[in-house]
Structure 1
Amino acid sequence: MLKKCFLLVTLLIWISSHSFAQLISDNQDRYKPGSSVNLSSPYHTSLSFFYNLEEEHYQPENAAKTLDLSEIRDQNGQRLAVKLKQIFEGNGILIRTNEIPNEQNYADSTSTTEGNIYYFDKLKLPGILLQKTGDNWKFSAFTVSRIDELHSDTYPYGTAKLLNILPKIGNQEYLGLHLWQLVGLFILLLLVFLSHWIFTLLVDKFLLYIFQRYGYGKVGEDYILPVARVVSIYLIVVLLSLFIRVLQLPIEIWSWILIVLRTLKPFLITIIFYKLANVVAAYFTKLATKTESTLDDQLVPLMRKTLKAFVIIVGTLFILRDGLNLDIIPFLTGLSIGGVAIALAAQDTIKNFFGSVMIFIDRPFQVGDWITSGDIDGTVEEVGFRSTRIRTFRNSLMYVPNGKIADSILDNHGLRQYRRFYTTLTITYDTPPELVDEFVKGLREIVLAHPDTRKDGFHVYFNNLSSFSQDVMFYIFFEVSTWAEELRCKHEILIQIVKLANSIGVRFAFPTQTLHMESFPEKKTLVPDYDGGYEAKVTDFVQRELKRKGK
């Protein structure tokens, strides 16, 4: 596999090197090398510079004439010319001389600087430019003064020394490459595979062993290990981008390789932070389990989604800027202008988003609460950006837009401190008043004896005479947090009521009808007739009751 990759890269390099040679040869008829150098236009100056630094006709003294050395002490123009060419190659800037303007008085319309100036690439190398001085176009004095600095930035950490060491291996050509380039390519591939093996050993063995030793094996395997593997790949890409430019590969193939490497860096960093969002979410999830409130339980999923969306957006911008060398300022400006149109088209989405924000600020409910509002009736499972997921008592899922919830009147049963139980106990009319009174006292004792009832706020009274029964109001509260516990308490209370009624002979009434006949000859009227009249009977009853209570 390694051999096939090596041959493929070599073939591409050979093709690109010949295409670049053809590009130069296409312009030779317009430029005749000699002791003099043509500096009459940006085109001729560029062609003079690059032509005299090609291997077939290497004349660095002529290339040095294209540099403005008037403001530097080091007059070794040949060394600076070679370095400048290496800067172009190291940054993957492909110069097509036939596209450079061939006008003696050319002026860059996009430049704010006065004078005749030509930029090769404002994004990659804004400091390298041609400037007309008198009748000649040369690399400006500012550019020449920055050659050493730009060269160090292009070949950092001492890699520039390899530019002088590797060519000493040999300049024989094989498949369009010099011997030192082939040797350097082999060493680089070997270094990449060795680095991958070392990073894999450190990540999969050593790092996982450390987490397992301290009791975090599952955390390390599920969260840390995926991040560490991407980090190892990123380090390999950084290592590859540092040393591959030293090989001075043909600019056509190297420019594409450089784009891939520059794109991979922000792409891998985006993946790293995307996976780190899971690590952060797992940490806050663990903290949320230690608290009694369920608000943090619903904040963690929303925070994870927000972090991931933020990472993707920022990562995409860095990929466009650093990887593809695109100017993202006009893109951001376009977003700000188009944001108005997007906001108008997505009013409902924005309304739902701010509805979710208001839910977290006002906290009308938490995950696990039972809420009702119109057609909404169920238990809250999750609060998202756009909608809230509610599990109904039919076990179906209801997705309700957050904007609708924010504008609705909600009845949150989950926030109840007490759960009310109200019923009417109907007993038959033939139950004596004394027995009714004792039955009510027994009901109160049942409430006081139960461990989950509210002792300071209940009402048990004989309060109504209905068409078929004597009614006892039974109004109590349970101090429980869930519906299941409420049902359990109701069951226990009702069992005790039935046992009490059976033990003292109280019979529960149900709707009945009694037919009274007054037309029988043998039967007297049902209207009572008392000696002394009704008033004397009532007075006698009241006196007896007062006498009984006085005792």
Structure 2
Amino acid sequence: MQKSLLFFLVFLSVLSTQTTAQLIDDKVVKDQFTDQINLSSPYYTTLTFFYNLEETNFRPKEAAKALRIPENPEEDGEGLAIKLKQIFEGQGVIIRTSSIPNISNYQDSTSGVREPVYYFDKSTLPGVFLEKVGNQWKFSAFTISQIPDLHQETYPYGTDRLLNLLPKIGTQEYFGLYLWQLSGMFLLLFLIFLAHFFFTFLVDKVLVYFFKKLKHQQLGESYILPVARIISYYLIVLLLSVFMPVLQLPVEIWSWIIVILNTLKPLLITVAFYKLVNVVAVYFARLATKTESTLDDQLVPLMRKTLKAFVVIIGTLFILRDGLNLDIIPFLTGLSIGGVAIALAAQDTIKNFFGSVMIFIDKPFQVGDWITSGDIDGTVEEVGFRSTRIRTFRNSLMYVPNGKIADAVLDNHGLRRYRRFLTTLTVTYDTPPLLIEEFVKGLREIVEAHPDTRKDYYHIYFNNLSSYSQDIMFYIFFEVPGWPDELRARHEILIQIVKLANSLGVRFAFPTQTLHMESFPEKKDLIPEYPADSTFYQKKLGEFLSTELKKK
């Protein structure tokens, strides 16, 4: 940055050799202007005032006659005239004589007043204007009353004292600038180097050390440090804005420097806020990790993008208004009218945007939920401003407009607290009732012993007699977060059921056709023989419970 400033100041001094240090741009007219006092029109009053304040013919007493001074002024007319010229110079206002009316009875139709007045620059100096007093045009009494405040605003923090102090250094000319101007430039350059060194030390050393002590070094170096550096550059620009008007540089150059400085101020503030959005996003991201909803994690990047767009838009408006001195009211009016046309042409986009807003407000689902609705069937991966990305079970991606989702009836399987599992256990018809009773008791013990089953609501009953089997309804619920956990729990339950059946000697039935024939003495029947004593089955069940379920 030091090299850039040095190059800028050298370029400034070289360029200044090609111009004059005067406010009036028409040198031919000034050379032909010999009458020291002529107040017959805005044109001649302007020439009278600035001509008599030039360094070659410095007559502030004659220049003060162009001011409408009250009877008992707080300051003499000569001092007010000099201050008014310094205000023009400090504000970088170029007086173009070709645009000043040379009409004695000039009437400004845009001023909104009936009295004859003439404004030099309504945007920069709205309170400085000429008015007709009798047959003469003079700087208005209102302008005279505003001179002390305008001078203090143009040269703040006591820098106005340097206007009388610096010229005492010397008025010799070098490279088109006076010696006191060159001395002031080198002094200002030294102050900039000193300020840059101080801000760099404060930001890169002290700030990083502070965050390191707080054990947030990553946050400080990655997010806070870039913002602090931009703010340090902004402070240097403020330093230039305060001290550079004192140098009284050629107004043709100074007017462009003012534009650059006034543009840099809102630009650097915009960049600082743009980077500050990352700090806010990190804070909200940490808050989102503490909530159970995964939809908050998707909201943080959307919020970051929205805030950055908002900062860029507002910053651009301030740059246009303060830097380039443009009237943004017609621009905003045009945006409002064009916004209606854009809204009509982008109804679907706006509908999708408000659909996304409703999704984030109502939270009908979150990232990772399995949802179904018509053709929609899959797991939510990401929620954007326009569409929601859903991963189908075919591993393809489905992009669904948020407006469609907001209007659809969704079945959110991911919000289930319990996951139902219903199956029918079919046992053969030769299974005796006592064995079925003990088998059902064992099934209930399996459900009670499993850590992921709902204990307050399940149904296990001998439920039906079908064409080839005796049916036991097995109706339970799993309290698990996702489908993989549900599959794991099913696997564990079914394994225990098979082990229980093998332990008790329960045979599962399947669709068959049995042909009964006479029993032969030498042939053993295929139907197993079941003990009639119920204690036998109770003993078998006890052995199973003590060996298998105790393992859990």
Q: TM-score range by the shorter chain?
A: 0.7 to 0.9
Q: SS of the residue aligned with 2:372? A: strand
Tell me how far apart the structure 2 counterparts of residues 294 and 405 of structure 1 sit (CA, whole Å). 18
What letter is aligned with 1:119? Y
Tell me how far apart the structure 2 counterparts of residues 72 and 499 of structure 1 sit (CA, whole Å). 114
- CA deviation string 1:261-284 (max 9, x = no partner): 101111111121222222122222
Tell me how far apart the structure 2 counterparts of residues 113 and 395 of structure 1 sit (CA, whole Å). 74
Shift of the alpha carbon at 1:431? 4.0
The aligned runs of 1:80-99 (5 Å cut-off) are 80-99=80-99
2:19 maps to 1:10: no
Structure 1 residue aligned with 2:121: 121
What letter is aligned with 1:366? Q
Structure 1 residues 188, 279: CA separation in 2 closer, same or farther (over 3 Å shift)?
A: same
The aligned runs of 1:404-419 (5 Å cut-off) are 404-419=404-419
Structure 1 residues 170, 391: CA separation in 2 closer, same or farther (over 3 Å shift)?
A: farther
Shift of the alpha carbon at 1:205? 0.3
Structure 2 residue aligned with 1:203: 203
Structure 2 residue aligned with 1:526: none
Structure 1 residue aligned with 2:358: 358
Structure 2 residue aligned with 1:32: 33
Structure 1 residue aligned with 2:534: none
Structure 1 residues 419, 184: CA separation in 2 closer, same or farther (over 3 Å shift)?
A: same
Tell me how far apart the structure 1 counterparts of residues 464 and 185 of structure 2 sit (CA, whole Å). 101
Tell me how far apart the structure 2 counterparts of residues 325 and 51 of structure 1 sit (CA, whole Å). 28
What letter is aligned with 1:343? A
Shift of the alpha carbon at 1:74? 4.0
Range with greater deviation from structure 2 (450-459 or 434-443):
434-443
2:371 maps to 1:371: yes
Shift of the alpha carbon at 1:180? 0.8
Q: Which runs of 5+ in 2 are unaligned?
A: 520-552
Tell me how far apart the structure 2 counterparts of residues 263 and 128 of structure 1 sit (CA, whole Å). 24
The aligned runs of 1:313-462 (5 Å cut-off) are 313-462=313-462
The aligned runs of 1:29-428 (5 Å cut-off) are 31-34=32-35, 36-70=36-70, 73-74=73-74, 76-428=76-428
Structure 1 residues 361, 4: CA separation in 2 closer, same or farther (over 3 Å shift)?
A: closer
What letter is aligned with 1:27? V
Structure 2 residue aligned with 1:535: none
What letter is aligned with 1:8? F
- CA deviation string 1:109-142 (max 9, x = no partner): 2111221111111111110011112221111111
Q: What is the aligned residue count?
A: 516
- CA deviation string 1:516-546 (max 9, x = no partner): 99xxxx99xxxxxxxxxxxxxxxxxxxxxxx
Q: SS of the residue aligned with 1:476? A: strand
Tell me how far apart the structure 2 counterparts of residues 5 and 73 of structure 1 sit (CA, whole Å). 42
Normalising to structure 1: TM-score of the pair?
0.87
Shift of the alpha carbon at 1:195? 0.9
Tell me how far apart the structure 1 counterparts of residues 117 and 94 of structure 2 sit (CA, whole Å). 19
Q: Which runs of 5+ in 1 are unaligned?
A: 524-551
The answer to whether the 8 Å contact 1:69/1:75 transfers is no
Tell me how far apart the structure 2 counterparts of residues 133 and 118 of structure 1 sit (CA, whole Å). 13
The answer to whether the 8 Å contact 1:27/1:98 transfers is no
Normalising to structure 2: TM-score of the pair?
0.87
The answer to whether the 8 Å contact 1:53/1:82 transfers is yes
Structure 1 residues 395, 58: CA separation in 2 closer, same or farther (over 3 Å shift)?
A: farther
Tell me how far apart the structure 2 counterparts of residues 417 and 21 of structure 1 sit (CA, whole Å). 80
Q: SS of the residue aligned with 2:473? A: strand
Structure 1 residues 74, 309: CA separation in 2 closer, same or farther (over 3 Å shift)?
A: same
Tell me how far apart the structure 2 counterparts of residues 234 and 264 of structure 1 sit (CA, whole Å). 8
Shift of the alpha carbon at 1:14? 2.0
The answer to whether the 8 Å contact 2:381/2:390 transfers is yes
The answer to whether the 8 Å contact 1:71/1:141 transfers is no
Q: SS of the residue aligned with 2:66? A: coil
Q: SS of the residue aligned with 2:20? A: helix
The answer to whether the 8 Å contact 1:298/1:366 transfers is no
Shift of the alpha carbon at 1:443? 1.8
Between the aligned residues of both structures, percent identity stands at 71
Range with greater deviation from structure 2 (384-393 or 98-107):
384-393
